[in-house]
Amino acid sequence: MALVFAGVCSHAPGITNRPERADPQKRERFFAAFERLRLAIEAAKPDALVIVAAEHFANFFMNNMPAFAMGMAEHYDGPIEDEKWLGIPHARVPGNRDLSLRLISRVMQEVDVAYAEEWKLDHGIMVPLRFLTPRWDLPIVPANINCQGPPLTPLHRAYAFGRALRQACDAAPERLALLGTGGISHWPATPNSGKINEAWDREFLARWTENRRDALLSYTDADTYRDGGQGGFEIRTFIAVAGAAEGSAGEIWCYEPIPAFAVGCTVGAMKLA
Amino acid sequence: MSLYYVQKLLYQLNRDPEIRKRFAADPEGVLAGYELTAEELGAIRRPDIGLLYVLGVNGQILMHYAAMCGFEWSAYLEAMREGVRRHGPVRAGLYKLVED
């Protein structure tokens, strides 16, 4: 039928791995925004959720790294991480192979994507789903963008991927929700873990909410690495959602820099035209 | 330059229980299958998380490998700092230490 919802959120493993280390007030504001996101997705009555995350070597390695990939299976298992380490028990999340096949076929008219009939979920998808579909009852179509191993997927291709996803969703008979997950500035898995560039984040989010394509695509990887750290490369997932919502503006429901979670914790949504 | 194979081995140990089992029973037999320098072999055998960090292992791989080796979060961050103190700056990759 159409894309009925498009939003973004953070996915840092610290959110479920070490919640007790966060400032309680900030944490509760962030978790309340996750609940608002859950309710908004529920209110949009989607038949499935397309979730675009960042590659973390869950399904692919540097011997064969796709710029874009989408899952095409009846179900997905996760997390790949130790369940005690991540704080999320193993679960099987439903998929919809036929829906994936149709979406991928349509996306491939515009952007080359790899498909995967087997796909393991890592924190990039499991952490958001833990809050948004805690009973694992909404079918998903997982997707990912190479934000991890250079050469990285160019930003303008991430935007084009989002635009292609929109066309594919609008051509499907189902009601579909889209969620991009990732960090803005962050330096995860380094001794700088917890460093956050709030000014850079707020500037990026301003560009995202206004959905100014040229401004979103003007970051070079060298700029991002300097100002936003290697975790900042995950802006590609937010940019894909902006591409899917081209012509619409968005709003940020939460931005809380939480060093214990190693990221400026973000929840936002596009007001789809 | 065999950083690629260091990362490949750690990625496989993270992800594949069969290789993990083989590595526990016969580490040298598993290591023989990868092109590794003496320094890399030493870092993997000990294991020296700090040196693996300095060699440039991607954080999304090393984070899970350190957890598998029993490093809790703060100990893992400290092991990376100690690695830089002992072995100098990170030599490759994206996960470099940034000075504030």
Q: Decide if B31 is inside a domain.
A: yes
Contacts of A222 in chain B (CB under 8 A): none
| Nearest-Cα residue of chain A relative to residue B90 | A190
Query: What stretches in chain A show pLDDT beneath 70?
Result: 1
B67 Cβ under 8 Å from any chain A Cβ: yes
For chain B, how many residues are written? 100
- A 247-266 near B (Cβ less than 8 A): none
Interchain proximity A191–B97, CB inside 8 Å: yes
What CATH number did the domain enclosing A248 receive?
3.40.830.10
Contacts of B81 in chain A (CB under 8 A): 191
Determine the straight-line distance between the first and last CA of chain B, rounded to whole angstroms: 30
The residue segments making up the domain with residue B44 are 3-87
Interchain proximity B73–A18, CB inside 8 Å: yes
Give the nearest partner residue to A192 out of B7, B73, B97, using CB atoms.
B97
pTM of the model: 0.96
Relative to beta strand A250-258, strand A68-71 is: unpaired
- In sequence order, the 6+-apart residues with CB closer than 8 A to the CB of A74 are A94, A95, A96, A97
Residue A46 backbone dihedrals phi, psi, to 5 degrees: -75, 150
What CATH number did the domain enclosing B67 receive?
1.10.700.10
Give the nearest partner residue to B4 out of A62, A188, A195, using CB atoms.
A62
Distance from CA of B78 to the nearest CA of A (A): 7
Q: Look at residue B100 in the predicted model and tell me its pLDDT.
A: 66
**Buried/exposed code over A129-156 (b: 16+ C-beta within 10 A; e: otherwise):** bbbbbeebebbbbbbbbbbbbeebbebe
| Nearest-Cα residue of chain A relative to residue B53 | A190
Interchain proximity A190–B80, CB inside 8 Å: yes
**Buried/exposed code over A209-218 (b: 16+ C-beta within 10 A; e: otherwise):** bebebeebbe
Q: What is the four-CA torsion angle of A61, A63, A64, A70, rounded to 10 degrees?
A: -10
Amino acid identity at B85: R
Closest by CA to A234, choosing from A210, A207, A201, is A201
Q: Decide if B94 is inside a domain.
A: no
Q: Decide if B98 is inside a domain.
A: no
Interchain proximity B63–A191, CB inside 8 Å: no
Q: B9, B13, B64, B97: best mutation site toward chain A, by most A Cβ within 10 Å?
A: B64
Interface TM-score (ipTM) > 0.85: yes
Q: Decide if B93 is inside a domain.
A: no
**Structure token pair of residue A148:** 């991890």
3-class secondary-structure state, position A143: strand
The residue segments making up the domain with residue A54 are 2-270
How many domains does chain B divide into?
Answer: 1
A218 Cβ under 8 Å from any chain B Cβ: no
Contacts of A17 in chain B (CB under 8 A): 73
Q: Look at residue B99 in the predicted model and tell me its pLDDT.
A: 79
Contacts of B4 in chain A (CB under 8 A): 62
Residue A253: exposure state from Cβ atoms within 10 A (0-12, 13-18, ≥19): buried
Interchain proximity B95–A230, CB inside 8 Å: yes
Residue A22: exposure state from Cβ atoms within 10 A (0-12, 13-18, ≥19): buried
Amino acid identity at B20: R
How many domains does chain A divide into?
Answer: 1
Whole-angstrom distance, CA of residue B25 vs CA of residue B19: 10
Query: What stretches in chain B show pLDDT beneath 50?
Result: none
| Nearest-Cα residue of chain A relative to residue B67 | A85
Q: Look at residue A55 in the predicted model and tell me its pLDDT.
A: 87
Interchain proximity A190–B7, CB inside 8 Å: no
Q: Decide if B97 is inside a domain.
A: no
Contacts of B98 in chain A (CB under 8 A): 187, 190, 192, 195, 229
Amino acid identity at A145: I
A43 Cβ under 8 Å from any chain B Cβ: no
